[in-house]
Amino acid sequence: MKIAFIGDIVGRPGRVMVKEHLAHYKEEYKIDFVIANYENASHGFGLTAKNATELFNAGVDVMTGGNHSWDKKEILHLFDKFELIRPLNYPDSAPGTGSKVYEINGVKLAVINLMGHYTMPLVDNPFTKIEAEVSALEEQGIKNIFIDMHAEATSEKRALLFMLKDRVSGIVGTHTHVSTDDLQIYKDTLYLTDIGLTGCRDNVIGMDAKVPVQKFLTSIGGHFDVPKTCKKILQMVVFELDEGKCINALKIKRFDDGRELITQAWID
């Protein structure tokens, strides 16, 4: 089973890159299932029904969220309409679910969205919450388990790997919008600290640089905006699973000027 995961899709530039390139990569790599992070998909903050439809029509199968999941209030009514997941460790009373199981060519895959603690909203402990969820999936005999760990702190993501190695198929980090150079398969588990954004690449985390620079100079904030024009990038991990184990993986960086960088995972 071949899976693709696309990092934080930021605004229209990110959606454009998904629409223009995902179909090609699905065919080239024989991808069976596509997961993408939606929390910045609608002008950088949250998700609308219109943009959800756009991304699903482009070939995405399920989307994960994060701390910006709730920024567009219509999201509260979209969990029953679309294949959307919000972080598992939000209170059980919050709309949606943090874990779903899909059947792909007769094989089951669990997709989990988890959120870290550092600088994030007040939520349940991600480590105790994920331990209970993975144990429940194991009791059901589900071997293929993928986690989108949406967190600021690299240490939280790395600790999750050493907590769940051998028990889950993959852990890929999101949230910072900055890709890390540590794609690996460790004890049969895919790991990447942060996949990086899909969207504008010539500014600050996919947003116009003016307000971030102003904030650092004056400590006075403002509204972050996704530029109308920019240089764009698509960042995606493609990985293959067999009986719950990740047997190979690669990272694709596709630039809007036609360049493509592919990095193979190292195996430990």
Q: Which of 21, 68, 150, 175 is catalytic?
A: 68
187 strand-pairing partners: none
Strand (E) or helix (H) holding 238? strand 232-242
The pLDDT value recorded for residue 223 is 87
Residues 32, 105 contacting (CB under 8 angstroms): yes
pLDDT at position 22, please?
98
Half-sphere CA count of 184, side-chain side, radius 13 A: 11
Residues 6+ apart with CB under 8 A from 221: 211, 215
The H-or-E segment that residue 24 falls in is helix 11-28
Asked about 150 being catalytic, the answer comes back as no
Q: How many residues does the chain have?
A: 268
The pLDDT value given to residue 162: 97
Q: Find the Cα–Cα–Cα–Cα dihedral 100, 56, 261, 116, rounded to 10°.
A: -40
**What residue ranges of the chain have pLDDT lower than 50?**
none
> How many domains, the chain?
1
Could you tell me which of 22, 72, 82 has the C-alpha nearest to residue 42? 72
* Cα–Cα distance for residue pair 158/167, rounded to 1 Å: 15
Least Cα distance to 87 among 66, 70, 101, 72 occurs for: 66
**3-class SS of residue 237:** strand
Domain with 19 in it? 2-267
169 within 8 A of 249, measured Cβ to Cβ: no
Report d(CA 59, CA 22) in Å as an integer: 7
How confident is the model at residue 207, as a pLDDT? Answer: 92
- The single residue listed with the structure tokens 């430990």 is 268
User: What CATH number corresponds to the domain at position 32?
Assistant: 3.60.21.10
How many whole angstroms separate alpha carbon 88 and alpha carbon 85?
A: 8
What is the value of pTM for the model shown?
Answer: 0.96
Identify the pLDDT of residue 200.
97
What was the pLDDT predicted at 21? 98
